Amino acid sequence: MAEAQSTTRKLPYVAAITDGVRAVLKEFDNAFVIGEDVAGAGSVYGYYNGLLAEFGPERIYDSPISEEAIVGVGVGAAATGCRPIVDLMFMDFMGECMDEIANQLAKMRYMFGGSAKLPVTMLTMAGAGASLAAQHSQSLEAWVCHVPGLKVVMPTTPYDAKGLIIAAARDDNPVIVILNKMSLAMTGEVPVEPYSIPLGKANIVRPGTNYTIVALGRMLHEALKAAEQLKEFGIDAEVIDPRTLQPFDTTTVVESVKKTHRALIVHEAVRFGGFGGEIAAQIQEEAFDYLDAPVVRVGAPFSPVPFSPALEAHYVPNAARIVAAAKQQLGL
What is the chain's alpha carbon radius of gyration, rounded to the nearest angstrom?
Answer: 20
Task: Give me the residues paired with residue 35 across strands.
Answer: 62, 87
- Helix then strand count (H, E) for the chain reads 13, 14
Angle formed by the axes of helices 275-287 and 250-260, nearest 10°: 60
Per the annotation, the verdict on 146 as an active-site residue is no
| Maximum CA extent, the chain | 61
Contact at 8 Å (CB) between 179 and 15? no
Q: Which of 136, 146, 221, 267 is catalytic?
A: 136
44-67: b or e for each residue (b if 16 or more CB lie within 10 Å)? ebebbeebbeebeeebbbebeeeb
Contact at 8 Å (CB) between 243 and 154? yes
The amino acid at residue 170 is R
**What phi, psi does 123 have (nearest 5°)?**
-100, 130
168 burial (CB, 10 Å; 0-12 / 13-18 / 19+) is buried
**Alpha carbon of 7 to those of 1, 15, 18, 144: distances in Å?**
10, 16, 17, 35
Active site residues: 136
